[in-house]
């Protein structure tokens, strides 16, 4: 019996959307059929990676045959996913074959687990989380909706990461740390103490350099 392949649409037309398409090409059971635009309708006259670019309202007629995933690395991707959901379309959760996800952990809808990622046991990812190349997440850790953990970042066990937070490339978060929602951890930072909501931290050890921010 021939294996069924699920048609998949990628929300977004920027470079990360292209990277997601490449990732999908190595995940059995999915095939990207188009990208979706919601800001510049003129982009729909073009192609991307030899695939069509569709205007967002096309999701309504494709909702019974396709799944979607968001190809925006910004934590503000909530705007696009919430818009897409109004058309009744469902979200895929993508796990690259080279990733290792504990069977005792769980992933929310729309999340992307890229190549080389390791997720330890009893960990939970919220909806539309991005774990980029080689990210590591320890045991009994909670990661909120729309959070992005960039390549090579290492989040230890028993941590709690809020919603729409950005953990930069190569950052380290030691065990039992809480990082608030809508915060930014700079690339290469080492977080050794709790981080409140809506701040940016950088350095070793990480320190607050900006307040009253909202994601990235």
Task: Tell me the CATH number at 64.
Answer: 3.40.50.720
**Residue 42 falls within a domain, yes or no?**
yes
66 belongs to the catalytic site: no
CA distances 111 to 17, 74, 106, 211, Å, are 14, 13, 11, 28
Question: Which of 124, 139, 140, 160 is an active site residue?
Answer: 139
Tell me the average pLDDT across 200-213: 97
Same-domain status, 68 and 106: no
Q: Look at residues 91, 115, 150 and tell me which one is the last residue of a structural domain.
A: 91
CA atoms within 13 A on the CB side of 43: 17
Q: For 65-111, write each residue's pLDDT tens digit.
A: 999 999 998 888 999 999 999 999 999 999 999 999 999 999 999 99
Q: Look at residues 41, 66, 91 and tell me which one is the last residue of a structural domain.
A: 91
Task: Give the list of residues 6+ apart from residue 27 with CB closer than 8 angstroms, or none.
Answer: 94, 95, 96, 97
CA 145 to chain centre: 9
Same-domain status, 193 and 113: yes
- Which two tokens mark 141? 């850790």
Q: Which residue segment(s) compose the domain that 181 sits in?
A: 94-211
Same-domain status, 137 and 202: yes
pLDDT at 3: 62
**Residue 1 falls within a domain, yes or no?**
no
pTM reported for the whole predicted model: 0.94
């Amino acid at each position: 019996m021939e294996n069924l392949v699920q048609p998949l649409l990628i929300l977004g037309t920027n470079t990360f959307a292209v990277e997601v398409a490449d990732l999908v090409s190595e995940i059995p059971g999915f095939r990207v059929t188009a990208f979706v635009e919601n800001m510049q309708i003129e982009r729909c006259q073009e192609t991307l990676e030899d695939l069509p670019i569709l205007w967002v309202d096309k999701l309504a007629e494709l909702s019974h045959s396709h799944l979607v995933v968001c190809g925006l690395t910004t934590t503000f991707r909530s705007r696009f996913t919430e818009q897409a959901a109004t058309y009744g379309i469902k979200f895929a959760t993508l796990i690259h074959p080279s990733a290792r996800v504990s069977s005792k952990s769980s992933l929310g809808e729309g999340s992307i687990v890229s190549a080389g990622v390791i997720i330890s046991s009893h960990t939970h990812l919220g909806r539309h989380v991005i774990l980029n190349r080689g990210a590591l997440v320890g045991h009994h850790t909670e990661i909120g909706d729309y959070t992005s953990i960039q390549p090579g970042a290492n989040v230890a066990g028993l941590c709690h990461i809020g919603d729409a937070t950005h953990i930069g490339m190569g950052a380290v978060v030691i065990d039992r740390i809480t990082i608030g929602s809508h915060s930014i951890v700079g690339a290469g930072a080492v977080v050794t103490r709790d981080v409140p909501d809506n701040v940016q931290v950088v350095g070793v050890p990480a320190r607050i350099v900006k307040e009253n921010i909202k994601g990235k």
